[in-house]
Amino acid sequence: MNLKRVLILTFFLQIHVTFHFYTTAGLAFGILENFSTSYPDKGPNQWVVVNIPAYQLTLYTRDAGDSLKTLTIPIGVGKGTEPSNETPTGEGYLYAKETGVIFRYGAQTPENLIGKIIKYSYTFDKKTLKPIKIPMPKDMKSVFMTIFNQETQNVYEQFVLHQTTDWYTVRAPASNGCIRIDEEDMQNFYDGLAPQVKSGRFPLPVPISIRYEMVEYDNRSRRLILHANVYHKPLNYLDETLKVLPQESIDLGQIDIPKLRWRIAKAETQFQVTEQYIRKKLSQPPSKRLLLEEEKQQLHYSLFLDEILNEIRLPDNERY
């Protein structure tokens, strides 16, 4: 059956995007059932992993020679001021992509604009950083997904990955739940995802895993990276760190826990101030919403492993 679907996205206004394609509910769940979206030995030739607090999306592609190629791009995510505008976590699949989506004004705009097509975007020039008004591009791109959250048993079909003219909101919590991607990155992602399809449904769905990992470890630089808990989930940075380090074959007996606690406290203070600043900035009129990269970078905190190591290795019975 040919379906016309209307989804709610975010364009600093609640908006709608209209597109046409065939859908089949639950098409990919059988395929995903026994598939790990981290680094599967066998399975689909493509999969996507998103980490919300890192504002990062990675497309993995296995070529004919079984070599693995990656495309990693920054993203914007749901603002998370309430559960309904969080980007959902869970496992799912991408099943279609479209060019030329139409954005419409939503419920929070003046009543006389609701449902009308958005013809112009109020954004900023990337070079001068001055406010500008531009026509909405006619080739705006979107990728459509279904996400299943095991914990809540909820299925999410209303959120998509879409191109944005509000490039300065990438790497920030700004949307009503959709994943925002800047123009050039969206072009690369769009072309690389199911490359045999220019527009429409994929022959096979592409698995996607959307995660909420506040602590990551970069083995090459021996560096911990803490990300701001912008959705205020009941997670503890110390606990999360002590889970991550053993996965990287790091002996917890080497860690100076008081030093680590002190650094975490510094990070949490930084995150609180930054989150308040960003949310206030994004609530301003369009001409005052510009976020600089150095401002958004304060949503992350790095510390080298050597900075939190014990000077003398503790015996087993004296570890944390």
Q: What domains can be seen in the chain, in order of their start residue?
A: 2-211 (2.40.440.10), 215-318 (no CATH)
Nearest to 57 by CA among 168, 160, 279, 209: 209
Written as tens digits, the pLDDT of the chain (320 aa) is 333 333 333 333 333 444 434 333 343 334 344 334 444 455 689 999 999 999 999 999 998 888 999 999 999 999 999 999 999 999 999 999 999 988 888 766 678 888 889 999 999 999 999 999 999 999 999 999 999 999 899 999 999 999 999 999 999 999 999 999 999 999 999 999 999 999 999 999 999 999 999 999 999 999 999 999 999 999 999 999 999 999 999 999 999 999 999 999 999 999 999 999 999 999 999 999 999 999 999 999 999 999 999 875 545 554 54
Phi, psi of 131 (to 5 degrees): -60, 140
Amino acid type, 76: G
Residue 24: partners with Cβ closer than 8 Å, 6 or more residues away: none
- Taking the model in full, what pTM does it have? 0.85
Nearest to 59 by CA among 41, 68, 72, 75: 72
